[in-house]
Structure 1
């Protein structure tokens, strides 16, 4: 992932996802710093709603699904 902010542009390398009482916790590194973000139920619903209301997002999700299925089938043949 990429984070653009007033402080600059940083990559966020996701290392771990945990489920806690307060939400989904993403842990990783932003640049050289350890970073953690918590996504509440309301945050997740808002993100899903934003994605599903965008017509272009449906096409992206469908292409993503088919590419994952194609990759899995390719790995199974090897």
Structure 2
């Protein structure tokens, strides 16, 4: 049920939970703490690992790739570099 303004607190909470879950998955995939996205990550403070804007830029660029085969190649390339 929504209030007169159309705001549904349950819907808002669900979206917030979904964002937190996705941030957790992204952080796990990048092997960085979730706090990195909030500017408090220890890796950023020590100058190691990606910062939040680098992660966001990489994800934004990856999301613009329409061809699934090219996305697969891109992911493989990033994974190869991560093992270096």
Q: Give TM-score, length-normalised by structure 2.
A: 0.25
Q: Which has the larger radius of gyration?
A: 2
Which structure has the highest helix share of the two? 2
Which structure has the highest strand share of the two? 1
